[in-house]
Amino acid sequence: MRAIRVHQHGEPEVMQLEDLTMPTPGPGQVRVRVEASGVNFIDIYQCSGQYKMNLPFTPGQEAAGVVDALGDGVSSFSVGDRVASAFTLGMYASHALIAAEKLVPIPAGVDSQTAAAAMLQGMTAHYLTIDTFPLREGHTALIHAAAGGTGLLLVQMAKLRGARVIATASSQQKLSLAREMGADETVFYDDFPAQVKALTGGRGVDVVYDSVGKDTFERSLECLRPRGYLVLFGQSSGPVAPLDPQVLNAKGSLFLTRPSLGHHLQTREELLLRAGDVFGWIAAGALKVRIDRVYPLAQAADAHRALASRETSGKVLLLP
């Protein structure tokens, strides 16, 4: 089998494609022949050393493919089944060993590339709109990075929940894409608080979904109505500086949360629910997954550079 290996933290070039011995699944494990792997910011943080990892390791936490071997005790899947997985390290590879409980079936009507593109970001948008701040008709949401992989799904799910969506992006092309996916209003990052206040009659939005972090955080607080929610779920521009909680009081008894997907996949039932909803919406045509770029596994470094530059609009994938 072939896999990307990282022997030292650093720039994207630390990722090297290597030939490895084909692994044998142990008890409760499934070997998957990977057909597509998703590229995410957490992969970049782990390779760079921002998130420290035990070396060497194979990056990647999201993939779709076909079951090609079963370990002892696995009865929930069969060889030949189409499956997808999230939150299992080692997906930048031609084959991967995955605990059966971490796998979900891919339904008919959803291809492997779409499945790989939808797992982490689709389930993230799911918990953000349904659990973190349960959107409903009458709510107004501000969504940053609305043309990114998660942003485009967030826009669509917010609309499925009946909310009004104001989207931000860095270019007219990206704003147009957000509108195509259902955003009601679009604004550039320049002076977005004033534009948001104007669009809401001075009231502010009910919730801000912010995956950008340092560059938008303080201005995001300015966009909220009294008792509004700032949902900080990423930091593509860098980590946010320490905050005096009194600021939340002064700006209107605001709520601030820093959620993550891992804490919203505590059980297999929760995994199946979230993935099932996402795949069901895709199969029904209610949710569109935009794949922006596809790279061969050997070009993983190029994929990381493209994502880190924030020049992509949609998902980036690697194909073994």
Q: Are 232 and 207 in contact (CB under 8 A)?
A: no
Q: Which amino acid is at 280?
A: G
pLDDT of 76 = 95
Q: What is the token pair recorded at 233?
A: 């779920």
Annotated domain spans of the chain = 2-119+265-319, 136-258
Per-residue pLDDT of the chain (320 residues), as tens digits, is: 999 999 999 999 999 999 999 999 999 999 999 999 999 989 999 999 989 999 999 999 999 999 999 999 999 999 999 999 998 999 999 999 999 999 999 999 999 999 999 999 999 999 999 999 999 999 999 999 999 999 999 999 999 999 999 999 999 999 999 999 999 999 999 999 999 999 999 999 999 999 999 999 999 999 999 999 999 999 888 889 999 999 999 999 999 999 999 999 999 999 999 999 999 999 999 999 999 999 999 999 999 999 988 778 889 999 99
Task: Provide DSSP, the chain.
Answer: -EEEEESS-SSGGGEEEEE-PPP---TTEEEEEEEEEE--HHHHHHHHTSS--PSSB----EEEEEEEEE-TT--S--TT-EEEEES-S--SBSEEEEEGGGEEEPPTT--HHHHHHHHHHHHHHHHIIIIIS---TT-EEEESSTTSHHHHHHHHHHHHTT-EEEEEESSHHHHHHHHHTT-SEEEESTTHHHHHHHHTTTS-EEEEEE-S-TTTHHHHHTTEEEEEEEEE---TT-PPPP--THHHHHTTS-EEE---GGGG--SHHHHHHHHHHHHHHHHHTSS---EEEEEEGGGHHHHHHHHHTT--SSEEEEE-
Q: Are 210 and 220 in contact (CB under 8 A)?
A: yes
Per CATH, is 2-119+265-319 categorized as 3.90.180.10? yes
pLDDT of 310 = 77
**Torsion sign, CA atoms 307, 311, 315, 320:** negative
pLDDT of 235 = 87
Q: Are 46 and 76 in contact (CB under 8 A)?
A: no
CATH topology of domain 136-258: Rossmann fold (3.40.50)
Greatest alpha-carbon pair distance for the chain in Å reads 62
3-state secondary structure 164-214: EEEEEECCHHHHHHHHHCCCCEEEECCCHHHHHHHHCCCCCEEEEEECCCC
Estimate the crossing angle of helix 172-180 against helix 149-160, to 10 degrees. 40
Q: Are 13 and 30 in contact (CB under 8 A)?
A: no
pLDDT of 237 = 85
The C-alpha torsion from 298 through 94 and 96 to 305, rounded to 10°, is 20
Q: Do domains 2-119+265-319 and 136-258 have the same CATH topology?
A: no
Q: What is the token pair recorded at 151?
A: 């942003």
